Amino acid sequence: MADVRVSLCGVELRNPFIASSGPLTYGAKGIRRCFAAGAAAAVTKTLCKLPAENPIPHIVSLGKGTMLNTEKWADLSVQQWVEQEFPALRGADGVVIASLGHTVEEVELIAPQLARVGDPIRMLEVVSYRAVDMVPMVKAAKRLTDFPVLAKISPNWPDLMEVVDGCLAAGADGITAADSLGPVLHIDIETARPALSGDYGYAWMSGTAIKPVIVRIVADICRRHPDVPVVATGGVTTAEDAVEMFMVGATAIGAQTAPMLQGVSWFEKTANKLAKWLDAHGYRSPAEVRGRALPAIVPGEDKRPLTFFFDADKCTECGRCVTVCAYEARHLEEGKVMRLDTDACRSCGLCVTVCPTEALTADRV
């Protein structure tokens, strides 16, 4: 069986899955529940100077593994975390990462208190709404504590790589990529109002819909900084999603939406499925997968036409490949005879990707 342990900033995790900051990590009880369900680590809800008061309602499921939220930071006070929640996590079966936001003043206020707490905190994660605050926050966290520091970036910042470079130069030990995507807006058409409460109904998206954005960001960071540990966070819903993140260079995986929607048992199930996937593909560990796709992420376009293969025995005559062709290039005739109008076909690749049985394949799809 593959060994799914990973090392993150010098701290060993029994598997790569981390409960990222959010409702599941609202306090010690929630974090212990994640650990008991298989999460190797958990990032606390973000500690700020004042406890959050959230708009109501503030989370909505869009279906298919995607959510929107207008939830703020931790609704428990720093004092409660320091005096009750962290002490209640001593001896817990997982790595505790304290999330700290959102300004340098707040880091200067809270980080020394976390340094005094010490055990069970093993790492800090600094997070902000504003890109300009990140570098001073990382510097302050490094100056005021001995913890490894992760810098959590937002996919919503325009000059993301500048922020990453700045945080690493300021001493960040790793990057968490990334926070939820937004702002977005969802209207409830029965009430003609935004579905969530908050300024202008603006919300932030998480879960399956944002995964390709996060894969691209993780790849950009890891191409630039191949040795920096990156916690890929955003839209990981299956073990295969985690593999995709490792392939673009991730070291560990953060998840909030999938275990919220599917239940916290998601952690153990997904870690087991990851081990099975690694075994089936001849890998001994996530580290062996790490960065494998990066050499193929290069500038330039391939313009050679596709070569298609059709296996009539596997074809169920569902017709999907025919339906999706905008150029009407594909025809399925009586007796499972597949015809392709090669003049009309643009080699876009779509028909191959909708075939449910792999009856239709191509050389590079």
Ligand X SMILES: Cc1cc2nc3c(=O)[nH]c(=O)nc-3n(C[C@H](O)[C@H](O)[C@H](O)COP(=O)(O)O)c2cc1C
Residues that bind ligand SF4 (CB under 6 A): 315-321, 324-325, 327, 329-330, 332, 340, 345-351, 354-355, 357, 359-360
Q: Of 234 and 249, which CB lies nearer to ligand X in the complex structure?
A: 234
Whole-number minimum distance, CB 280 to ligand X, in Å?
Answer: 25
**Residue 206 binds which of ligand X, ligand SF4, none (CB < 5-8 A, kind-dependent):** ligand X
Whole-number minimum distance, CB 67 to ligand SF4, in Å?
Answer: 31
The per-residue b/e assignment along 205-241, b for 16 or more CB within 10 angstroms, e otherwise, is bbbbbbbebbbebbbbbbbebeebbbbbbbbbbbbeb
**Residue 59 binds which of ligand X, ligand SF4, none (CB < 5-8 A, kind-dependent):** ligand X
**Residue 44 binds which of ligand SF4, ligand X, none (CB < 5-8 A, kind-dependent):** none
Whole-number minimum distance, CB 28 to ligand X, in Å?
Answer: 16
Site for ligand X in 188-207 (CB under 6 A): 206-207
Burial (CB count within 10 angstroms: exposed 0-12, middle 13-18, buried 19+), residue 14: middle
Prior bond to 102 cis, omega within 30? yes
- Selected from 234, 249, 286, 291, the binder of ligand X by CB under 6 A is 234
Q: Of 245 and 325, which CB lies nearer to ligand X in the complex structure?
A: 245
Q: Of 181 and 329, which CB lies nearer to ligand SF4 in the complex structure?
A: 329
Among residues 50, 55, 42, the alpha carbon closest in space to that of 79 is found at 50
- According to the binding rule CB under 6 A, does residue 99 interact with ligand X? yes
Alpha-carbon dihedral 69, 72, 75, 77, rounded to 10 degrees:
160
- Selected from 15, 128, 145, 233, the binder of ligand X by CB under 6 A is 233
**Residue 348 binds which of ligand X, ligand SF4, none (CB < 5-8 A, kind-dependent):** ligand SF4
- According to the binding rule CB under 6 A, does residue 71 interact with ligand X? yes
Site for ligand X in 239-298 (CB under 6 A): 255-258
Among residues 29, 109, 145, the alpha carbon closest in space to that of 76 is found at 29
171: left (phi over 0), alpha (psi -120 to 50) or beta: left
Q: How far is CA 237 from the centre of its chain?
A: 9
CA distances from 118 to 42, 87, 238, 286 (A): 16, 10, 34, 30
- DSSP letter, residue 118: -
Whole-number minimum distance, CB 256 to ligand X, in Å?
Answer: 4
Number of residues binding to ligand X, judged by CB under 6 A: 27
Whole-number minimum distance, CB 302 to ligand SF4, in Å?
Answer: 14
295: helix, coil or strand? helix
Q: Of 273 and 320, which CB lies nearer to ligand SF4 in the complex structure?
A: 320
Whole-number minimum distance, CB 12 to ligand X, in Å?
Answer: 22
* Residues in contact with 327: Cβ distance below 8 Å, sequence separation at least 6, in sequence order: 341, 344, 345, 346
- Selected from 106, 179, 241, 244, the binder of ligand X by CB under 6 A is 179
Q: Of 40 and 351, which CB lies nearer to ligand X in the complex structure?
A: 40
Q: Which residue has the tokens 């709404």?
A: 129
Cα separation, 218 vs 160, in Å, equals 11
- According to the binding rule CB under 6 A, does residue 69 interact with ligand X? yes
The answer to whether 324 and 349 have CB atoms below 8 angstroms apart is no
Angle value at C-alpha 329, between 212 and 339, nearest 5 degrees: 115
Task: Give DSSP secondary structure letters for 192-251.
Answer: TEESS-SGGG-EEEEEGGGHHHHHHHHHHHHHH-TTS-EEEES---SHHHHHHHHHTT-S
Cα separation, 181 vs 261, in Å, equals 18
**Residue 219 binds which of ligand SF4, ligand X, none (CB < 5-8 A, kind-dependent):** none
Q: Of 93 and 341, which CB lies nearer to ligand SF4 in the complex structure?
A: 341
Q: Of 194 and 235, which CB lies nearer to ligand X in the complex structure?
A: 235
Cα separation, 277 vs 246, in Å, equals 13
- Selected from 128, 180, 251, 270, the binder of ligand X by CB under 6 A is 180
Residues that bind ligand X (CB under 6 A): 20-23, 45-46, 59, 67, 69, 71, 73, 99, 127, 152, 179-180, 206-207, 210, 233-236, 255-258
